[in-house]
Amino acid sequence: MPEVLRDVGATDEYDADIYMVGVRESTDPEARSLVFQEGYDDEDSYCLVIDPGQATFYGGVIECTVSDDQLHLLLSESAAEELGTPTELRFSLMLPPDQLQLLRRGLTRVLTSGHPEDVPRRLDV
């Protein structure tokens, strides 16, 4: 059974130096979370940080799809190895419409930033 993600947050789209969008199971500090962050400049690609543990990888998302009730990620072998996850990740989403929209908008912004070769081949949000 997939993990359920219930909360989304993002830095302010206009005031932050680096934009980030994150989704998590709960507000518990030990809960599973995924944070997607834009690259700092043209030298970096976006990164994915997975908690608990702060495992981080730059680029590495091959596919990302979001439906009303599911987030699906396909990661490169090197990303999965570094993050300590399988290459295919599926999460159930239990989000109110405004948070679902924030997640979709944030993933589009972050995953299309940085190096063009790191943009997912499929981005259906």
pLDDT digits (tens, 9 = 90+) for 15-47: 667 899 999 998 888 889 999 999 876 668 999
- Name the token pair of 11: 């830095």
Name the token pair of 106: 């944030």
Does any domain span residue 123? Answer: no
Phi, then psi, of 27 in degrees rounded to 5? -80, -5
Please check whether residue 19 lies inside any domain of the structure.
Answer: yes
Q: Cβ distance 15 to 7 under 8 Å?
A: no
- Segment 69-123, tens digit of pLDDT: 999 999 999 999 999 999 999 999 999 999 999 999 999 999 999 889 999 999 9
Residue 114 lies in a domain: yes
Say if CB 102 and CB 10 are below 8 A apart.
yes
Give residue 3's pLDDT.
Answer: 87
Q: Does a structural domain hold residue 124?
A: no
Q: Give 10's strand partners.
A: 21
User: How many alpha carbons lie under 13 Å from residue 51 in its C-beta half-sphere?
Assistant: 15
- Please give the tally of structural domains in the chain: 1
Note whether residue 59 is domain-resident.
Answer: yes
Q: Are 38 and 49 in contact (CB under 8 A)?
A: no
Domain of residue 66 covers 3-118
Provide the pLDDT for residue 1.
37
Residue 29 falls inside a structural domain: yes
In the three-class reduction of DSSP (H, G, I as helix; E, B as strand; rest coil), residue 36 is classed as strand
pTM exceeds 0.75 for this model: yes
